[in-house]
Chains A and B, each alone.
Chain A
Amino acid sequence: MKGEATMFDKFKAAAEAAGNTEVQRFGAKAEALIFIEGLLKKEEIKDTPGFYAVWADSPFLKGIDTKELAAKVPGLKFEVTRELAKNAKIGITQMEWGLANMGTLAQDSTAVEQRLASALSWIHVALLSTDKIVADLPALMTKMHPGTSNYIALITGPSKTADIERVLAIGVHGPEQLVIVCVDESGGMN
């Protein structure tokens, strides 16, 4: 457990160093869900274009009554279409791996919903099982292989550019903000 904690600390420090990124850690899935609901409320998610939240299919949702959740939070959509994602403020996806040395997230994004939710929204909420944090890119490459995944996506921090006068600007084509929600309880995350 000690080694795992160190791995998480490294991951959190590296991820947050990428700017506009916060890393939260929860013991249980239920606690994480409370945090997410709070975030949706804080960001004023509602059933109006531009204020939707889209939640792409995730192992995290197993055992959660999504209908009930959608009813509780108007504007939260579990069906990720082009139009809904286009008008989403928040996109939630579950990532498969984290890289401790760079604070990078990795996902098999072959399913288009995963890319729509994480690439078009202003805020990307990334769910991650704490025990899925590996050391670095070489370690990840032993876990994920293009032989079995058509679209592997690595994500580190928000979308950014420095193309005008080399001044950093956040959120040019993708999210302005990345919120990483780590959950220790591995049951229900896989």
Chain B
Amino acid sequence: MKKELAQSIHEALERQNLAGILDRWNYPATRAKAYEGTDFEAIRNRIAEIKGSAADHLEELAEKFKKSAEARGAKVFRANSPEAVKDYITNLCKEKGVKKIVKSKSMASEEIHLNKHLAEHGIQADETDLGEWIIQLAHQTPSHMVMPALHLTKEEVADLFSKETHQQQSTDIQQLVKVARKELRGKYFDADMGMSGANIAIAETGTLVICTNEGNARLVTTLPKIHVALVGLEKLVANYADAEPIITALPKSATSQLITSYVSFITGPSPNTDGSLKELHIVLMDNKRTAMAKDPQFKEALQCIRCASCLNVCPVYRLVTGHVFGHIYTGGIGTILTAWFNEMETTEDIQGLCIGCGKCKEICPGKIDIPALILELRRRVASKEGLPFIYKTALSVINNRKIFHAMLRAAFIAQKPFVKEGFIRHLPMFLSNLSEYRSLPTIAPVPFRDVFKKIKQPQSKTKASFFAGCAIEFVNPGIGAAIVKVLNKAGIEVVFPENQSCCGIPHWGSGSFDMAAAAAAHNIKPLLADDVEYVVVGCATCATALKKEWPHLLKDQNMDSLVPGGKKVAAKTVMFSELVNKLIEEKKLTPKDGLKLQTLTYHDSCHAKRHVGIDKEPRAALAAAGYELKEMFECDTCCGMGGSYTVKQPEISMQMLKRKLKNIEDTGAEYVSAECPGCLIQLGGGLDKSGSKIKAKHPAELMEDKFK
């Protein structure tokens, strides 16, 4: 990570204005309310189909739009580059003697820094969207795609307005809005040109659809005699009817509203106030969108309707906010768009902000798999530039369990001076921020493979292969022992293939898909060696690999002959709690009588809930085993561990943990459980460091002695 980015993250974390605002808004709840009675999956499928098809026919639709709009009297200019857009608009201004422009919101104009260019040509362009005007006065870029000035406090806005009006303004928000109304009202009447963006461009009719709440776009497109609309090609849809699902979803996803106060459909020029006909220019801007549409993976990003819901739910965005993303488009989708519209090079750093928790993917109305696209960026950067030496070495080591084992034995001895009660509480200075909020786990004295050899199991026809994963093997072998014990109670004999290694997710998450596929290839045979009914995993991250990703990875890396084996493993793989719940339902496991009720709160690991869809099963199994569930706020929000994320982005990881710990503490439960050793390392370490009484335990540890 470059120093500047680390510094900008550090500064952002000091300033939590926007984070507090997003919390008070409670977006997930208000959004859900707005979607009440609307089938979200159905509507996003329609949008994905409409916009996906538009991306397939971008050139055709652009030409059709041009033809339709020109037939109605508009002038349409197709611009490939930002320079072509700037030249067209400045030339038009010169030709028409335009000195003053009023603008309603256009991200496309932000994308190409149009205002700066116009100013250099002596043309004054005033933003009229309140948020855009504020950041214009502050000489800043948007920190949020829908609410661009959300990072500024009302005091800061009052200062900006005081300077602009040469009058001391109060910090009362209602008053400040009226100051803006008064200041901007005159500008609409004085402007020679109005400039807007568009939310949708309909090819069939040559129509621009503009949604606003403030009503500024209505004035911008009504009062000046010239209207210029700057529209990115991704706004195109084929038909009038295609606009409907977008108009329906956009306000719900963007601001938790049913519909924006104003929706305007503009088709060709309308009359001016003096009876003349308005001059309407529509600039269709490409700037890499066609190239994006031709990329089989990134084509999907053109399905974005710019609602910014991926920002609102992102646990990282909430902490660092928009300016850390370095450009105009922010958050998850911003990372992708910036990579294409600007430079891949800044991407190298920015993509590292994504922890891959998958929250954005769940709520995206364009049905874009944002984390997968960010991972694809990471893969391209990694394959182009190679991973940094230290990561590559580390990733090679964990693929070879013998070397890994030997190294960890050495580390076990080296850690001794720092260890206390199974945790490392302090580290030498250069690593100290890793243990500021969280004690670090120690390496276990005896790894699981040696623990397993000493477990006496009943013989059974029903066998399950246990895939331990690195954390259970080396950090918390007790979880593995508990899993064996519970399964034995159900009459299942556990086999532990010694030749297993890392599941490959760390490699996958670093963009090194070849090494991830190698990990899959290494594991398949040992796991299927015995005639097993199940492959059991006690780690949600490993489950993601075994249940879901291995067949794709093998195919992607042209290892087709191994794909059937990968699929076989996927079909047999169960998470421990998933299997226990099934065994309870089948009456193969019976809870003991008279269990003392204990309280527990459950943390959904990102991999368990959003990658393999396991969230009800562990709750049901734990409830059957005598635990009363006390749900925490944001139970499925990432804890900040994210594998190596916690090492690469320690500051963000620790802030995410801090929030999680508070939510856990607030439940007053005795235990917090998660079926992910990584989350448990993070949560357990955090609880230990803060001196909490709450213990972080794996479901297997909690259920070890609960069955007959």
Contact = CB atoms under 8 A, between A and B. Distances in A.
Interface in B220-249: 222-223, 240-241, 244, 247-248
A149 to B, nearest CB: 7
Q: Which of A86, A115, A169 has most chain B Cβ within 10 Å?
A: A169
B244 A141 contact: yes
Contact of B173 (A111, A137, A153, A169): A169
A119 B262 CA distance: 10
Given A173-B184, A173-B216, A159 B270 contact: no
A75 interface: no
B219 interface: yes
B177 interface: yes
B157 interface: yes
Given A112-B272, A165-B153, A173-B184, A154 B173 contact: no
Contacts of A116: 222, 273
Interface string B288-324: 0000000000000000000000000000000000000
Contact of A172 (B150, B180, B267): B180
A163 B147 contact: yes
Contacts of B678: none
A161 B134 CA distance: 13
B181 interface: yes
Interface stretch (B124-132, B331-339, B428-436, B587-595): B124-132
A150 B267 contact: yes
Contacts of B222: 112, 115-116, 119
A112 B261 contact: no
B157 A164 contact: yes
B266 A150 contact: yes
B205 interface: yes
Interface string A37-53: 00000000000000000
B264 A153 contact: yes
A145 interface: yes
A159 to B, nearest CB: 4
B599 to A, nearest CB: 35
B255 interface: yes
Contacts of A104: 259
Contact of B255 (A110, A162, A167): A162
A145 B185 CA distance: 31
Interface stretch (B207-215, B358-366, B566-574): B207-215
B177 A161 contact: yes
Interface residues of B, number: 63
A93 to B, nearest CB: 12
Contacts of A154: 259, 262-264
Interface in B237-286: 240-241, 244, 247-248, 255, 258-273
B134 A164 contact: yes
A63 interface: no
Q: Interface of chain A, helix or strand or loop or mixed?
A: loop
A160 B219 CA distance: 14
A155 B154 CA distance: 29
Q: Which of A141, A150, A155 has most chain B Cβ within 10 Å?
A: A150
Given A102-B259, A164-B149, A120 B219 contact: yes
B150 A159 contact: no
B350 interface: no
B205 A165 contact: no
A159 B271 contact: no
Nearest to A81: B273
B218 interface: yes
A137 B250 CA distance: 14
Contacts of B260: 156
A151 B173 contact: no
Interface in B174-223: 174, 176-178, 180-181, 184-185, 189, 202, 205-207, 213-216, 218-219, 222-223
A157 B153 CA distance: 27
Contacts of A120: 219
B24 interface: yes
Contacts of A161: 130-131, 177, 213-214
A166 B205 contact: no
Interface string A61-92: 00000000000000000000110001000000
Given A102-B258, A120-B219, A172-B177, A82 B270 contact: no
Contacts of B267: 146-147, 149-151
Contacts of B147: 162-163, 166
A59 B230 CA distance: 36
Contacts of B218: 115, 119, 153, 173-174
Contact of A146 (B24, B189, B202, B262): B202
A153 B222 CA distance: 12
Nearest to B157: A164
B21 A166 contact: yes
A82 B213 contact: no
A14 B37 CA distance: 14
A163 B130 contact: yes
A152 B248 contact: no
A116 B274 CA distance: 13
A146 B177 contact: no
A146 B243 CA distance: 12
B72 interface: yes
Nearest to A160: B213
Nearest to B222: A115
Contacts of B72: 150
B181 A171 contact: yes
B25 interface: yes
Contacts of B273: 81-82, 112, 116
A169 B177 contact: yes
Contacts of A171: 177-178, 181
A158 B257 CA distance: 13
Contact of A159 (B205, B213, B259, B268): B213
Contact of B223 (A82, A157, A160): A82
B214 A174 contact: yes
B25 to A, nearest CB: 5
A120 B176 CA distance: 19
A172 B270 contact: no
A138 interface: yes
Contact of B174 (A82, A157, A169): A169
A111 B21 contact: no
Q: Which of A110, A151, A153, A165 has most chain B Cβ within 10 Å?
A: A165
B264 A151 contact: yes
Contact of A141 (B130, B153, B240): B240
Nearest to A145: B240
A165 B215 contact: no
B142 to A, nearest CB: 11
Interface in A118-155: 119-120, 137-138, 141, 145-147, 149-155
A133 B178 CA distance: 33
Interface string B140-169: 000000011110111001000000000000
B213 A149 contact: no
A137 B150 contact: no
7 contacts: A141-B241, A146-B267, A151-B265, A162-B213, A166-B147, A169-B177, A174-B214
Interface of A: 14, 18, 81-82, 86, 101-102, 104, 109-112, 115-116, 119-120, 137-138, 141, 145-147, 149-167, 169, 171-175
Report, nearest first, the 7 A-B pairs whose CB atoms are least far apart: A174-B215, A163-B131, A152-B265, A169-B177, A154-B263, A159-B215, A163-B130
Given A146-B207, A155-B261, A169-B174, 7 more contacts: A102-B258, A141-B240, A151-B265, A153-B265, A160-B213, A165-B173, A172-B181
